[in-house]
Structure 1
Amino acid sequence: MAFQLGLRPPLGKHFKNFNSSFFSGKPIGIRKLLAVRLCALAPKDAQKLVVEVKEKLEKECNSLPAGKNGKDDEELILWFLKDRRFSVEEAVSKLTKAIRWYHEFGVSELSEESVRSAAESGKAYVHDYLDVNSRPVQLVEASKHFPGKHDFREDEKLCVFLVEKALSKLPAGKEQILVIIDLRGFGTENADLRFLTFLFDVFYYYYPRRLSEVLFVDAPFIFQPIWQLAKPMLKSYASLVRFCSAEVARDEYFTDETVPANLRKR
C-alpha cells in the first residue's frame, strides 16, 4: 500500500495530544449500543457462544493446533468473542488467523534466552512497576533501535515476548497494558516504519483490546513524516496514541517511587 508523504508546517515541540478509547471515532449512540450489548450478555450465554466457536473451529479448521492459544483455548475464544462484539462468525475468522500465527511464530517457545541478543540493547523492556492506572508498562527507547543491526525477526520476537510478559503482569480485573515509546534522541538512523506497523498489527490481529494507550514521548520534528506515513496504516488504533512530554508521562502516569529510570528528571 502506497502513501504520499505530506509534510506540514512545524507543530511546535510536541504534537497534539490524542484522547484514548477503544471505541474512539464511533458515534456516541453506537458506543452506547455496543456497551449495552457487552453488558447484557449473561455469562451462561457467553459460554454457549464459546462452545459454538469451538465446534466451528473443530469442524472448519481441524488442522489448527489445540492447547494454549489453540482452537480449544476457551479463555482465548471468549476474548476474541468480546473483541468481535460476540459475533461467532467474526470471532472464528479472526481466531483462525491468530491461532495460525501463534503457532507459526512460535509464541509459546519465546523465552528470555531466545530474545537475549535483541534485548541486550536495552531498547525495549517491561517496567518493574505498574502505572497509576494499574497497567503493566512496556517501554521502548527509540534512540537505541538501529534497523538492520539485528535481524528483523529477532526484533519481532522481542516485541511479542515483551507483550506476553506485560500481559502476565496484569492484576486481577485488569485487561490492558500501556506502551511508552521514548523518542528523545531519535534520529533518521532510528527510523523503522516497518517495525512500528508490526507493533500495532500485533495488537490489532493477535492481542485485540489489550492495548490501552501508546505514549510518544518528546517526539522531535523529524518524527512527523514517519507518523504521517504510519497513521493511515494503524487505522482506528491511531486514536490510542498520545504525544506528550517526558514531564507529562512522568507526572500523570507514575508516582515518584514507580517512575521508569529513563523518565526521571535529569
Structure 2
Amino acid sequence: MTTTTTTKIQSLKLKEMEGVKDSTEAELSKIRLMRAFVETRDPSSKEVDDLMIRRFLRARGLDVEKASAMFLKYLKWKRSFVPNGYISPSEIAEDIAHGKMFVQGVDKKGRPIAIAFAAKHFQNKNGSDGFKRYVVFALEKLCSRMPPGQEKFLGIADIKGWGYANSDLRGYLNALSILQDCYPERLGKLFILHAPYLFMKVWKIIYPFIDENTKKKIVFVETKELKSTLLEEIDESQLPDIYGGQMPLVPIQDS
C-alpha cells in the first residue's frame, strides 16, 4: 500500500469519525446492527462508511430491517445503473446543453447550493434513462462538494417560464425516486420560486409521492419576499447574483 493510499484512507476515517460523533447512542447501536446484517447479504457494503449507513437508517426511522432493505436495493441499483462508479458528461450531453442546473457557494450551514431552472428542462429524446443519469451526475457533484461533517445540500428550483413543453411528469417522478431512494437524507432544504398556476396542477400529482421527511424541507417562496427569504439561509456573498446576491452562476459540469 502506497503512502498516498494510506493517507487517503486515514483522511476518510477521520471524516467518518467526525461525522458520526453527533450520533445518538441508539443510532450508533443501529449502525452496528445494520452494518453486520448488510455485509452478510452484500460484501460490497464493507466499502461504505457509517455516515451512509446512518442516512439510510434515518430515512427509515432507525428501523434496521427497512433501512437494510432500502440500502441493499440501492447497492444493486448502483451496480446496474452506474457500473463505472460515475456518470461521464459525455453520457448526458443533451441535458448539459440545456444549461438547466448550476452549483456554487454554500449556505449558512455550509451546505452546497444547487439552482435548477425548470423551464430549461425538456423530455430527453433518448428516453428516460438520459435524464436519470443527469440527476445522478448532479447529486454526485453536490455530494463531492460537501465539506467534512456536512451531508446535505440546499436546492433552489426556479419555475419561471415553465410551460407544457417542460412538463415531464415521468422525469420528475424518476428524479424524486432517485433522490429519496438512493440519496436519502441528502436534501437539507428546497426553495421553489416563481411557481405558475399551471405548474401547481402538476405539483398536485407529484406531491403524494413525496415522503413526509422531504415534504417538511420544501418551501414555496413568494416573489415579493424572494431575496429576504433566501437571505435567511444564505449570506449575500453566497447568494446567486440573479436573486440579488454576489455569486455568479456556475454550470454544474464546471463546478
TM over 0.5: yes
Which residue matches 2:18? none
Report the CA distance between 1:96 and its aligned residue. Answer: 1.2
Q: Any unmatched runs of 5+ in structure 1?
A: 1-37
Aligned pairs for 1:209-224 (under 5 A) are 209-224=185-200
Cα distance in 2, alignment partners of residues 58 and 111 from structure 1: 29
Distance 2:25 2:229 in 1: 37
| Structure 2 runs not aligned, ≥5 long | 1-21, 246-255
Matched, 1:258 2:238: yes
> Which residue number in structure 1 is paired with residue 98 of structure 2?
121
1:109 partner SS: coil
8 Å CA contact 2:94–2:124 kept in 1: the answer is: no
Which residue pairs with 1:83 in the alignment? 59
Alignment partner, residue 19 of structure 2: none
Distance change (3 Å), C-alpha of 1:58 and 1:148: closer
CA distance in 1, matches of 2:58, 2:209: 23
CA contact (8 A) 2:86 2:137 kept: no
SS of the residue corresponding to residue 149 of structure 2 reads coil
1:41 partner letter = E
1:192 aligned to 141, 153, 168, which one? 168
RMSD of Structure 2 on Structure 1 (CA): 2.6
Partner residue in 1 for 2:8: none
Paired residue type of 1:74: D
CA contact (8 A) 1:135 1:178 kept: yes
Distance in 2, Cα, partners of 1:118 & 1:87: 37
Cα distance in structure 1, aligned partners of 2:39 and 2:73: 14
Asked if 1:241 corresponds to 2:225, the answer is no
Deviation at 1:57, TM superposition (A): 2.6
CA shift, 1:232, in A, is 1.0
Instruction: Name the one with the larger helix percent.
Output: 2
Q: Look up the equivalent residue of 1:238 and give its one-letter code.
A: K
Cα pair 1:143 1:186 within 8 Å, conserved: yes
For residue 57 of structure 1, what is the aligned residue in structure 2? 38
* Higher RCO structure, 1 or 2 (CA under 8 Å, sep 6+): 1
SS at match of 1:178: strand
Q: Is 2:158 the partner of 1:182?
A: yes
| In structure 2, C-alpha distance between the alignment counterparts of 1:77 and 1:40, rounded to whole Å | 14
235-244 or 216-225, larger mean C-alpha shift: 235-244
Shift of the 219–55 alpha-carbon distance from structure 1 to 2, 3 Å rule, reads: same
TM-score by length of 1: 0.71
Pair 1:73 & 2:48 matched: yes
- Give the deviation of 1:250 after TM superposition: 4.7
From 10, 22, 25, the equivalent of 1:41 is 25
What's the CA shift for 1:251? 3.6
- Deviation sequence 1:203-244 (CA, Å, 0-9, x none): 221111111111111101111111111111113122321111
- 2:89 corresponds to 1:109: no
Asked if the contact 2:95/2:124 (under 8 Å) is kept, the reply is no
Distance 1:170 1:218 in 2: 27
1:93: which partner in 2? 69
Q: Report SS of the residue matched to 1:129.
A: strand
Q: Which residue of 2 aligns with 1:132?
A: 108
| Partner-residue secondary structure (3-state), 1:219 | coil
Quote the offset at 1:58 in angstroms. Answer: 4.0
Structure 1: distance between partners of 2:80 and 2:39 = 19
Distance 1:264 1:149 in 2: 35
Q: TM-score, normalised by structure 2?
A: 0.74
Question: Aligned residue for 2:177?
Answer: 201
CA distance in 2, matches of 1:81, 1:201: 17
Instruction: Check 1:212–1:192 CA distance in 2 against 1; reply closer, same or farther (3 A cut).
Output: same
Q: Structure 1 CA distance, aligned partners of 2:43 and 2:190?
A: 32
